[in-house]
Amino acid sequence: MDMMKALVYEKPGRANGSVKMIPRPVCGDNDVLMKVMACAICKPAESSHDRTTGSLMGKYPATPGHEFAGIAEEVGKNVTDIKVGDYIIADNAYPCGHCYYCKSNRPMMCENYRCQGHNMQGGFAQYMVCRSDNVFSFSKDIPFDKACMTELVNCASSAVNFAEIKYGENVAVFGCGSSGNLIAQLMKNSNAGTVVALDIVQSKLDRVKPYGIETVLVDPDDFSKHEAVLKEMFPHGIDVIVDAVGDDGPLLESNMKLLSAGGRLMIYSFFYFEPKTFHVDAGLMIRKGLKLISCPLQGYNFGNCIHDIELGKVDPGTIIDAVYPLDDYFTALDRVLNEPGSMKMIIHPND
């Protein structure tokens, strides 16, 4: 039996995780065996495995990692569009195809949803098997470290699509972490007019400035400062505000008041461990025709997203902080969890 090195949580919690040897997956007739060259740490997902509560979708033992790229090591006999040696990414989502939501063309709401890195083997391993219809090849001019974040670009593109940006509309993105950074870049390359990014950490804002995105530093103890700047920039209000912060009810309430007539407040962030609440001024919403929008993740957009990376319309490289071998996974994870201003750490399973 062929073996490989992988990160494994026998059950949730740091004490139960280690890098060890496990059987290498077998490539089926309709599969592609990927040699994983890069897999990015997703802070919300990977921290959930590392807690004793575990991932909401986790099935243990678990090998995390859902943002991956690599080389086609082997292809099944029925696979015709991918060949050995291709640089590849893969959609990590596996909706069942036969439940109520799948048959209603809402596969991301699948009642039997499976996902590589949660309840299927993920990319913090030397090899992984992907269903061929989930696999996309990409240019060998694109580094694996950038390509592995196609999944995150796919998530960020949901914000653009669900916000239904009209030509010339102004957009503010609150929170300029990994997701907020990419959302701001995608918004800048959409129909939007002025795009402004806001954060409490100046170094995060500095990463998006080269892309023509306006920036505003937020004082977490005094919202009136950034509110005054935004009101001067947009005297008639902001058309779309994206919340990519996720942990501050008062900020959401403040943002609602900054919207223009017909404006939309989009809640992008994920709430894994505890509910978040904020008060909505229903009268204000009615008077100004405001909309509150959630941002469920979309699937089937990986091809467009890797193409945008190839064209330079979005640059995931700006959020990469460091690269580590698989053996140093927990060192990299601790940096993500504990260092202010840190963003993406990339793991190289085959270094």
Mean pLDDT for the chain? 93
pLDDT tens by residue, 313-329: 999 999 999 999 999 99
Q: Is the pLDDT of residue 242 over 80?
A: yes
On the 0-12 / 13-18 / 19+ scale of CB atoms within 10 A, 334 is middle
Q: Is the pLDDT of residue 295 over 90?
A: no
Residue 271, CA atoms < 13 Å, CB-side half-sphere? 13
How far apart are the C-alpha atoms of 343 and 321, rounded to whole Å? Answer: 6
Q: Is the pLDDT of residue 129 over 70?
A: yes
* DSSP conformational letter for 326: G
Q: 3-state class of 284 per DSSP?
A: helix
Q: Which amino acid is at 68?
A: F
State the pTM of this model.
Answer: 0.94
Confidence band, pLDDT 50/70/90 cuts, at residue 56 = confident
10-36 mean pLDDT: 97
86-90, 162-166, 341-345 — which one is most confidently predicted on average? 86-90
CB atoms within 10 A of CB 13: 15
String of DSSP letters for 43-104: HHHHHHHHSTT--TT--SSB----SEEEEEEEE-TT--S--TT-EEEE--EE--SSSHHHHT
Domains 3-148+315-348 and 155-294 share a fold: no
Classify 3-148+315-348 by CATH class. alpha beta
Classify 155-294 by CATH class. alpha beta
- Whole-angstrom Cα Rg for the chain: 21
pLDDT tens by residue, 148-160: 999 999 999 999 9
How far apart are the C-alpha atoms of 99 and 187, rounded to whole Å? Answer: 34
pLDDT tens by residue, 214-225: 999 999 999 999
Q: Is the pLDDT of residue 283 over 80?
A: yes
Predicted pLDDT of residue 341: 85
Give the list of residues 6+ apart from residue 312 with CB closer than 8 angstroms, or none. Answer: none
How far apart are the C-alpha atoms of 214 and 216, rounded to whole Å? Answer: 7
| Residue ranges per structural domain of the chain | 3-148+315-348, 155-294
Contacts 24+ apart (CB under 8 A), 227-235: 227/254, 227/258, 230/172, 230/196, 230/258, 231/258, 233/194, 233/196, 234/170, 234/194, 234/258, 234/260
Output b/e per residue, 201-225; b: 16+ Cβ within 10 A.
beebbebbeebebbbbebeeeebee
26-41 mean pLDDT: 98
